[in-house]
Structure 1
Amino acid sequence: MLSRLPFGETLRAELGTPGRVRRLASSPRSRVWQAELSGTRVVVKQLIEGPEAADRYAREVTALRLASRVEPPVVPALLGTDPHERVIVLEHLEQRKPPDDWVIGYASSLARLHAATGADAKGTLPDWTGPTQADAKSFLSLAHALGVAVPAGVRTELDGLLARLAHAPGHSLLHGDPCPGNDMHTTDGVRFIDFEQATLGNGLVELAYLRIGFPTCWCATSPDPALLNAAESTYRTAWRDATGTDVQGDLTDACAGWLLQGDALVERAHRRTTDHLARLPDRDWRWGTATARQRLVHRLGVVGVMASSGSGELKGLARLATSMRDTMLTRWPALKPLPRRRP
């Protein structure tokens, strides 16, 4: 196994010769090993050849360096890099079982991660991109396919939503995939790993994960409402402590943005391949802890409640989301709520 470890002469000269090498589980886009350097355990990660491999590597290294400014830490320490082989060497973290109220620590660390960057970071990472006109059109087509009438004014509301999301204030360091499994629960707090999709944008698009059901994650969950409210309050407090300012933006808009995106119903390898919302009337499919219809019913319920009690800019969407949810539950009564707990 040692001979397969991509640990070249540059890294050996800088960090020493690795020993006690063991392969770890990883995504199809990377290879990961645990090794020892001078008796200290480290993690060696290589981004393998494939679509956008160089970009994913650059994003991860850049994000780790930007996040390293946060104290207490919210990421593992970056010990070494080999751009030619797309290799990073990281501090090894001891993972412990997440507590039942894990969303509290998660939200605190997420806020501090987001606060790692400001306007001075512009250009270091790509800007976050949200839903498009094509997503909005697909969502409305799904409503028609379900036999649900679209209230007057919803198209205008969606145009406004897309514009607000595209111009949402902030240059936060966004993880890009802040899922259960990419959060390491340690004795010193939660730290995040796997920044291959990192961007800069408004942090609420990731705080929304807790309420909307972790839209880019195999592990879709819906925390207990009391824990959810406490986590969102913790996020806002941690942000204020780190920046001296209040969180800007609209959480309802962020959740509604995820509702529109059919690509947030499938794992990454299947995104940008077809209109996934158009598939839902005829078939369902399981991804991780839930099916696509389960995920969408949850999101429709969340947006229906939030938009109906919000600023009024999405009142028509609130009625549409509620009607679509009711129709889906009538047509497929066996659909279950998202699980409360992470696996």
Structure 2
Amino acid sequence: MWKPVRRRMEDAGTNEILRAAGELLGTRLCEPVGLGGSSRTAVLRCRTAEGRSVIVKAYTGGPDALRGFTAEAAGLTLGLAGPPLLGVDPEVPLLVLADLGDSPTLADLLLGTDPKAAEEGLLAWARGLGTLAARSVGRDEELAGLWARYDRGMPTWAQEPWIAKAAAEFPRVLEAAGMAAPVGLDGELARIVTAVGAEYPAFTPGDTCPDNNLITPEGLRLLDFEVACFQSVFLTAAYCRMPFSTCWCVFDLPGGLARRIEAAYRAAVVPVYPALAEDAVWEDGIRRAVAVWTVNATVRLLPRTVEDGPMHRTRRPVPTRRQVLRHRWETAAATDGFPAFAETMRLLLREVAGGWAADPLPGYPCFRYDGATRDS
């Protein structure tokens, strides 16, 4: 997220951002360098009059941007993870953050050539998320109070029924693809939604994808708290098994390694939720979470596979939408306890993906050896 784009930001909007951020810090900011951002944000690395480097993140005025600002301001103020928060201006709105430097992201390691560094990065990522979750239990009311402090009129992520919305849209997406939903699917989706929504809640930055995690000399540092919230630990743990439920940096992980990173996350949360030590409890929760994320991915991506394309505009290598969806469906087709859902996945593989001219999802570049994926 914070890898420099190496272009100067000199427009009037940038000048206004620098002025507002400088007033927050009580200093003048200069030498802005754009770090990418998104359609919702502008992210600048700036220098203070004293020579210190800081990050300024400003948000546009749209609903998604305003909710992202409130979530990030509240999540970082909670103080459990992320870069130190140096200032908040709810009116612009913008944040000023400590600069964590140019360490590689987990995505850089996974797309690189050093399997040991990538494996260590994955384990650090899983342990870091699990430790964060464990430290946060019982602080959900505190986060709600911080949301109220920075509220810009948008509902919290806890109030956003995104799981139920995706489940309701799923049959219509199937119908648009020319496929009828199997008998019993609606009832199974209702059971999945009810169970995963609030069980074993813990804090998460929300977008825990590989490019939002810096691997620094001091260890893992999490970035991007625009979807910060309390959610079921299973929804975070599913990122280990799938892997990376909502991300662009999705390739196939060696099976043994996928289980080890999941175990690292689980070991960190069991002390605060002892019931998760029971394999039956853990497996049932993970199955439901994988189903939730697979429904979400299908609703988001299937309408965009009429013409296939890469999952990221600029990063390479990167899979295509069809490759990722087929991989999601293959993983979810083995879901026990939900026969109609598993049958839906098999039908999608046969009736939809069967007509795609797309190569199977390859392994992560860092783990490839002589054209094959190494097992760990």
Partner of 1:273: none
Cα deviation code 1:272-293 (max 9, x no counterpart): xxxxx4565x543432222232
Give ranges in structure 1 of 5+ residues lacking alignment: 267-276
For 2:210, what is the secondary structure of its paired residue?
Answer: coil
CA RMSD of aligned residues (A): 3.0
Q: Is the 8 A contact 2:41 2:65 kept in 1?
A: no
Alignment of 1:1-343 (within 5 A): 4=15, 6-8=17-19, 11-12=22-23, 14-37=25-48, 38-66=50-78, 68-69=79-80, 74-94=81-101, 95-96=103-104, 98=109, 99-101=117-119, 102-122=121-141, 123-124=144-145, 126=156, 127=158, 129=161, 130-132=163-165, 133-138=167-172, 140-141=174-175, 145-146=178-179, 150=182, 152-166=183-197, 168-240=198-270, 243=272, 245=274, 247=276, 250-262=285-297, 265-266=300-301, 277=302, 280=305, 282-288=306-312, 289-305=318-334, 307-308=335-336, 312=337, 314-332=338-356, 334-341=358-365
Q: For residues 135 and 62 of structure 1, what CA distance do their matches in structure 2 show?
A: 30
2:236 partner SS: helix
How far the C-alpha of 1:42 sits from its partner, in A, is 1.6
The separation in 1 between residues aligned to 2:361 and 2:345, in whole angstroms, is 16
Q: For each residue in 1:40-94, what CA deviation from the matched residue of structure 2 results, as whole angstroms up to 9, or x when unmatched?
A: 322111112323433221110101122x23xxxx411111122222121111113
- Following superposition, the deviation at residue 326 of structure 1 comes to 4.0
Q: 1:35 to 1:221 in 2, by over 3 A?
A: same
Q: SS where residue 334 of structure 1 aligns?
A: coil
Identical residues among aligned pairs (%): 24
What does the per-residue CA deviation read over 1:237-264, in whole Å, with 9 as the maximum and x for residues that have no partner? 12235x3645476011001011112576
Secondary structure at the aligned position of 1:89 is classed as strand
- Residue pair 1:59, 1:196 contacting (<8 A) in 2 also: yes
Question: CA separation in 2, counterparts of 1:240 and 1:53?
Answer: 35
Which blocks of at least 5 consecutive residues in structure 2 are unaligned?
A: 1-8, 110-116, 148-155, 313-317, 368-376
TM value normalised by structure 2: 0.73
Give, in whole Å, the separation in 2 of the partners of 1:13 and 1:51.
24
Q: 1:255 to 1:9 in 2, by over 3 A?
A: closer
Give me the whole-angstrom Cα distance separating, in 1, the residues matched to 2:56 and 2:42: 8
Which structure carries more helix by proportion? 2
Deviation at 1:302, TM superposition (A): 0.9
Could you give the per-residue CA deviations for residues 273-319 of structure 1, whole angstroms, max 9, x where no partner exists? Answer: xxxx4565x543432222232222111111122x13xxx2x133224
CA distance in 1, matches of 2:299, 2:51: 42
The offset of 1:219, in angstroms, is: 2.1
